[in-house]
A and B are shown apart, each in its own frame.
Chain A
């Protein structure tokens, strides 16, 4: 059977589907046109100062988050990526009068962003500068914040958390996998547990307020995960910064992260060749990437904005080296 056979075979689909395809309209996204809405927007800004995030949908929230981070409006393909791959969750747990809600997530197979929101059950004000789970180390040097697959609880993913700059009641959890350690990629259909202990408010004067010491366990499943990878290196290339030089043998690009392999150094400074580097999209949008797991043989980087691999034009390294998209196909994982 060929693609042509499949195309022709489609002729016999059920007529109800054809009627639906002929008549159905899809909910359309509202597009604000600046000239028309200028006055209205000014009024809106006055009303909504300080709480703009409250009225954003989950999609809009992530679009704004990435736009702020990459310091540039998202391109059409980036907005489309967020709309297509966001997972709205809405799972809540209340402890000691405080409710944590896992609102949404977006992920590729090695990097996930999970958005949580804290509310006070009795409507009490949350005035701290930021709220986070209890990240204070215990006496044995560990803490109790984990992310793991329920069917493999021994393997704990690397996590990081930060408050939203604009809204202290939003906590953003970042989950990372280090491919070089043969870590298992994130997968659709697998149940992952977010385990958190305690909630602490951090005030600008340096004081802390423990809201609860209870545990929060959320079980989430990704079903909109982007699991494609684009290997950009077909022949090893050299990358450099100042007097540092490495031989790059692999640069795997994903929607939200990059893994690169290199040699030529015995320390971790090779990763500096990948600071101030960019993925450049076909429409000219530049998305920077930043190394966060460093090693002598490679680095894992996160992208400051989402990238649809089909829209990538080239990668530009810190020393100006341009790596064009190779002719080979993308591969899963």
Chain B
């Protein structure tokens, strides 16, 4: 079933909407949540919370990109459920990701407190200027939290190449944030 029809079901308050959402996108949401929490049960809980949130927000909302809408909600739930201390102890992928992101923050911005929206605006501007190939690599790694191995497999690239390209994008992001003085 296509997105438009699923949304119609939500607007009609037909519970078939939830079933169709699960059929079409359940797997992707589960994978996204599991990439973050690295636990099957917790991931399933995030996905269920996502279905509930979507049921409660559509209508009145009518997202243009349904999967992106679902994914954002699911990502938020997954990060909300994540126990960072436990993650640090077991050297989880998200810890590596946050360390990699740390390299992009200009020294002057370390003390600044920013809302997610401000960060997203800066990153959106940066992403808009990237070639599409680099943009998708960046998002697969830092939005979808894919491992290097998964990205390499997905795009038929060597892991070294993926690592190298991501490193270069991080350097570009750091230079962009520094240059734009966004956080000052």
Q: Using a CB–CB distance below 8 Å, which chain A residues touch chain B?
A: 1-22, 24-26, 28-29, 76-77, 79-81, 83-84, 308, 310-311
Minimum Cβ distance to chain A for residue B184 (Å) = 12
CB-CB < 8 A to B102: which residues of A? 2-3, 6
A-B contact list, 28 entries, CB within 8 Å = A1-B110, A2-B110, A3-B101, A3-B102, A3-B105, A6-B98, A6-B102, A7-B79, A7-B101, A10-B120, A11-B72, A12-B117, A13-B127, A15-B68, A15-B72, A17-B135, A17-B139, A18-B67, A18-B68, A20-B135, A20-B136, A20-B139, A26-B133, A26-B136, A28-B156, A76-B159, A81-B160, A84-B164
Number of interface residues of B (CB under 8 A): 58
Minimum Cβ distance to chain A for residue B59 (Å) = 18
Among B151-177, those with CB < 8 Å from A are 155-161, 163-165, 167-168
Minimum Cβ distance to chain B for residue A175 (Å) = 22
Given contacts A3-B99, A3-B105, contact A20 B160 (CB under 8 A): no
Q: Is the CB of B165 within 8 A of A84?
A: yes
CB-CB < 8 A to B120: which residues of A? 9-13
Q: Is the CB of A3 within 8 A of B65?
A: no
Q: Is the CB of A1 within 8 A of B105?
A: yes
Q: Is the CB of B135 within 8 A of A3?
A: no
Q: Is the CB of B161 within 8 A of A8?
A: no
* Chain A interface, DSSP helix/strand/loop, else mixed: helix
Given contacts A12-B117, A20-B135, A80-B164, contact A6 B68 (CB under 8 A): no
The residue from B65, B75, B103 contacting A11, defined by CB atoms under 8 A apart: B75
Q: How far, in angstroms, from A80 to B156 measured CA to CA in the complex?
A: 12
Interface residue stretch chosen among B7-15, B41-49, B140-148: B140-148
B27 on the A face (CB < 8 A): no
CB-CB < 8 A to B99: which residues of A? 3
Q: How far, in angstroms, from A58 to B112 measured CA to CA in the complex?
A: 45
The residue from A4, A14, A81, A84 contacting B84, defined by CB atoms under 8 A apart: A4
Q: What residue of chain B has the Cβ atom nearest to residue A283's Cβ? A: B160
Minimum Cβ distance to chain A for residue B45 (Å) = 18
B150 on the A face (CB < 8 A): no
Q: Is the CB of B132 within 8 A of A24?
A: yes
Among B61-83, those with CB < 8 Å from A are 63-65, 67-69, 71-72, 75-76, 79
Q: Is the CB of B139 within 8 A of A76?
A: no
Q: Is the CB of B156 within 8 A of A29?
A: yes
Q: Is the CB of A8 within 8 A of B79?
A: yes
Q: Is the CB of B65 within 8 A of A18?
A: yes
Given contacts A1-B114, A2-B98, A6-B105, contact A77 B156 (CB under 8 A): no
Q: How far, in angstroms, from A79 to B161 measured CA to CA in the complex?
A: 8
6 tightest Cβ-Cβ pairs between the two chains A and B: A9-B119, A3-B102, A12-B120, A15-B68, A80-B161, A3-B101
Minimum Cβ distance to chain A for residue B167 (Å) = 8
Task: Choose among B69, B71, B113 the residue with the greatest number of A CB atoms under 10 Å from its CB.
Answer: B71
B123 on the A face (CB < 8 A): yes
Told that A6-B102, A11-B120 touch, could you supply 10 new A-B pairs with CB distance under 8 A? A3-B103, A4-B84, A5-B114, A6-B123, A17-B135, A18-B67, A20-B135, A29-B156, A81-B160, A308-B160
Q: How far, in angstroms, from A16 to B67 measured CA to CA in the complex?
A: 11
Q: How far, in angstroms, from A6 to B115 measured CA to CA in the complex?
A: 10
Q: Is the CB of A77 within 8 A of B157?
A: no
B6 on the A face (CB < 8 A): no
Q: Is the CB of B143 within 8 A of A18?
A: yes
The residue from A4, A16, A83 contacting B98, defined by CB atoms under 8 A apart: A4
Minimum Cβ distance to chain A for residue B130 (Å) = 10
Minimum Cβ distance to chain A for residue B65 (Å) = 4
Q: How far, in angstroms, from A308 to B160 measured CA to CA in the complex?
A: 9
Q: How far, in angstroms, from A221 to B102 measured CA to CA in the complex?
A: 30
Q: Is the CB of B98 within 8 A of A25?
A: no
Q: How far, in angstroms, from A250 to B129 measured CA to CA in the complex?
A: 39
